[in-house]
Chains A and B, each alone.
Chain A
């Protein structure tokens, strides 16, 4: 298994600003993912972040809005740029472990944009 922590756990931000969310894993993992969970909705994959390569974004998500860093095998950041109220969501970091078959999730970062 993998233990994942995220910082901050929650934040309230003003429109037009940016927030960087950190994800720390207790073991080295190759594949890391970022998801968004809008209020009352399911999880939507934002991007896949592998160490040593550019993140791969899903349809509807772009690097300018959600830049991702993956400097090593235990850490990643997701930045939500130029925020608007529509960005209010829970952002979750996730990793593959257990032979690349099981996905574990961090506790999430609850973002509110005013």
Chain B
């Protein structure tokens, strides 16, 4: 069975600083990987996804993530964060064939202050 571990439950950063949110997965088969963002009192929004091809994936709002198969990681990065990036970020995995539901990590709260 697959699983997702988000290594940091909370990440506080100052505005304009770089940030990395860590995500590791376990699966015995090929995977599809996703990052979602949930702003306060809002629904889930897809940030970016890795399905195949280039291991560096660019998403919305200046975020990017790199798929590292040998380290089974899919860390999310942004070179310079804004106050508006304050939100909950979820890493998710779908293993094997398409058509199965996503499995989510526990989430990382990113808090950006001035």
Residues of A within 8 A of B (CB): 30-31, 33, 41-45, 48, 92, 94, 96, 99-108
Q: Give the chain A neighbours of B103 by CB distance below 8 A.
A: 45
Q: Which residues of B contact A48 (CB under 8 A)?
A: 101
Write the nearest CB–CB distance from B46 to chain A, whole angstroms.
7
Cβ contacts under 8 Å, A100 to chain B: 98-99
Scan B39-51; emit 1 where CB is below 8 A from any A CB, else 0. 0001110100101
A105 contacts B90, C-beta separation under 8 Å: no
- Distance between Cα atoms of A42 and B104 in the complex (Å): 7
Subset of 9 A-B contacts with CB under 8 Å: A30-B99, A33-B101, A44-B104, A94-B101, A101-B51, A102-B46, A103-B46, A105-B36, A105-B43
Among A30, A44, A108, residue most surrounded by chain B Cβ atoms (within 10 Å): A108
Chain B residues with CB under 8 Å of A101's CB are: 32, 49, 51, 94, 98
B106 CB-CB contact with A under 8 Å: yes
How many residues of chain B have a CB within 8 Å of chain A?
A: 21
Q: A31-B99, A96-B99 are in contact. Are A104 and B46 (CB under 8 A)?
A: yes
Q: Would A102 and B49 count as touching, CB distance under 8 A?
A: yes
Which residue from chain B places its CB closest to the CB of A1 in the assembled complex?
A: B46
Contacts of B43 in A (CB 8 A): 92, 105-108
Q: Within 8 Å CB of A94, what residues of B?
A: 101-102
- Known contacts A104-B46, A105-B44, A107-B43; A41/B106 CB under 8 A: yes
Beta-carbon nearest neighbor of A96 in chain B:
B99
Smallest Cβ distance from A19 to chain B, in angstroms? 19
Known contacts A43-B104, A101-B32, A101-B51; 13 additional CB pairs below 8 A are: A31-B99, A33-B101, A41-B106, A41-B107, A42-B104, A42-B105, A92-B44, A101-B49, A101-B94, A102-B49, A103-B92, A106-B43, A107-B43
- Inter-chain contacts of A102 with B (CB < 8 A): 34, 46, 49
A7 CB → nearest B CB, Å? 14
